[in-house]
Structure 1
Amino acid sequence: MSPDLLTKVILPAALFLIMFGLGLSLRLQNFKDVFKAPKAMAIGLTGQMILLPIVAFIIALAFQLPPEIAVGLMIIALAPGGATSNMFTYLSKGDVSLSISLTAVVSVITPFTIPLIAALSMDYFMGNATEFSLPVLKTMVQLMVITIIPVALGMFVLSRWESVAKKIETVIKWFSVFFLALIVLLIVAKNRDNMLDFFAQAGLATLVLNISVLMLGYQLAKLSRLNGEQSIAIGFEVGLQNGTLALFVAGTLIGSEVMMIPAVTYSLIMFVTGLLFGYWINKRVNSMLTKQA
């Protein structure tokens, strides 16, 4: 499979469909819920929009990552949550409504934040000595087309044909998880001779980032005196990112296969860490219930 087919056709089509699926699960009420639980939303947005990129930047400096890998790490940190974070929140008995609302709000914000911060990251880590560029305004428009428009279409379908939307949404939700895994596997297969080098360059950094933000998001919510369900949702929203969007930005919009590496390693790692985090949460909750009894 040629890089052009993957980055120019498959990734954009998959991302459009995934965001359409997100829209099929959203109502205007989800955006109104922001005002019903302003504290939880504020903590979640702070964790995802501020804490996550700062942690990624510190890790990139601490690990002295190669410039393109460092930019790729920043891109995955800038991506919103997605179907994966919503799914793990549900499986771990977290606040699914909060998780979906956070995903929705951040997905609307990130088409404006990703191009700006990614461009600043490229300037900081790579300077002028790079063949890659990221026109901020053009990229904002491209991301709006590939994210906000399909979400709006999905919401429209849900508002008009609810029963059909729910059937399609269930299929697309699982499709989004498996399609991300398929894209990652295709990239791994294409670069199988270099995967050990890729993991050597980015694997440990993305693992540290993933574990750090899962725990930091959860603990930030707990320290803010949010309830257990809300804390679980925020932990997953901060800790599990939309890998397909990160791959689209790095591979399709910027055109760097190297910048895609952190998104690949992060996407492989987050399924395992997500399961372990959910197991730890459930074990912790059950232990607390046993002590109370």
Structure 2
Amino acid sequence: MNDSALITVGLPIALAIIMFGLGLSLTVDDFRRVAKSPRAVVIALGLQVLILPLIAFGLVKAFDLDPLLAVGVMLLAASPGGTTANLFSHLFRGDVALNVSLTAINSVLAAVSIPVITNLAINHFEAEGELGLQVGKVLQVIAIVLVPVGIGMLVRRRSPEFAGSADRPVRIFSITTLVAVSVGALLGERENLADYVEQVGAVTSIFCLASLTLGYAGARLFQLDDKQAIACAMEVGIHNTTVALTIALSVLDNTEVAIPSAVYSVLMYVFATAFGFAITRNRRAAPATPS
């Protein structure tokens, strides 16, 4: 199989497997849980779906990015929170149940938000090449993002034992795929890599820190508790970059558009870890409130 076939066929199949694995970890109760804490869910999704793309747009305009890189940053902003957010939330004592609910809803919303935001970015920045997400490509996004999640949920409902045993292998596969795709995207543009990193390194770093801060500070501003604020920070700050990379490489067929997500996929783990420790340290250092 040549590189082109590997990207256009192999990568979407790999993402479908990852999203299937996500479905194996979800139940209908995860969606029902939203009814028990709708305020936290609405705040987190509002920050992620509405405010985050505005921040990304402001950054790409401020740094005057190349149109294709600008589209890549907007695609990154539109990508949903990653399942790794659940792990980071657990490590730093966040509300993991809220993360699971947000991940479930995000998986559905992404099928709509990604095509809408990406198309708006392509039109605004007048990116060259055949990059538009036409109806067929929108359906492709839905097929590789939403359908596997639904199948995974059905499998879990019918066979909880299989879902439990498949969780670890799929997680390992997910991480391996993310690393491989990120490295491949970077190596694919190795001749221009230094220039790209110079152009998007600062933007993606600021965007990552802004995402984490927005998730935490926004939640606290709306008077969510600390555990919910940590969950929001991780959900908003840790993106499913595998989705963004797959769409850039296989749907849009453009490596340059994938560069911001490839760079972000490395930075987000570093910044999320540092951010989590900072929040935990501040929480532990805070004086006890007298009862």
Matched residue, 1:212: 210
The equivalent position to 2:223 in structure 1, one of 212, 225, 234, is: 225
The 10-residue stretch of structure 1 (105-114 or 6-15) with the greater mean CA deviation from structure 2: 6-15
Distance in structure 1 (CA, Å) of the matches to 2:72 and 2:90: 29
**Shift in alpha-carbon separation, 1:136–1:116, aligned structure 2, 3 A:** farther
Distance in structure 1 (CA, Å) of the matches to 2:65 and 2:269: 23
C-alpha deviations, 1:20-45, integer Å up to 9, x for none?
11101100011111111010001011
Letter in 2 for 1:140: V
Matched residue, 2:240: 242
Matched residue, 1:123: 123
Distance in structure 1 (CA, Å) of the matches to 2:188 and 2:247: 19
Distance in structure 2 (CA, Å) of the matches to 1:186 and 1:121: 24
C-alpha deviations, 1:252-271, integer Å up to 9, x for none?
11111110111111111111
Distance in structure 1 (CA, Å) of the matches to 2:138 and 2:188: 29
**Aligned Cα root-mean-square deviation (Å):** 1.7
Unaligned runs of 5+ in 1: none
Q: How does 1:35-184 map to 2 (within 5 A)?
A: 35-126=35-126, 130-184=128-182
Paired residue secondary structure (1:135): coil
The 10-residue stretch of structure 1 (185-194 or 241-250) with the greater mean CA deviation from structure 2: 185-194
**Shift in alpha-carbon separation, 1:182–1:135, aligned structure 2, 3 A:** closer
C-alpha deviations, 1:100-157, integer Å up to 9, x for none?
1111101101111211221111110016xx2223234222211111111111111111
The 10-residue stretch of structure 1 (84-93 or 20-29) with the greater mean CA deviation from structure 2: 84-93
Q: Report sequence identity in percent.
A: 36
Letter in 1 for 2:159: W
Contact 2:44/2:236 (8 A) holds in 1 = yes
Contact 1:116/1:136 (8 A) holds in 2 = no
Contact 2:189/2:256 (8 A) holds in 1 = no
Q: CA deviation at 1:83?
A: 1.6
Q: CA deviation at 1:170?
A: 2.3
Letter in 2 for 1:237: E
Matched residue, 1:286: 284
Contact 2:133/2:252 (8 A) holds in 1 = no
Matched residue, 1:19: 19
C-alpha deviations, 1:222-266, integer Å up to 9, x for none?
111111111111111111111111011111111111101111111
Contact 1:60/1:73 (8 A) holds in 2 = yes
Q: CA deviation at 1:6?
A: 4.1
Contact 1:33/1:101 (8 A) holds in 2 = yes
Ranges of 4+ aligned residues in structure 1 off by more than 3 Å:
189-193, 290-293
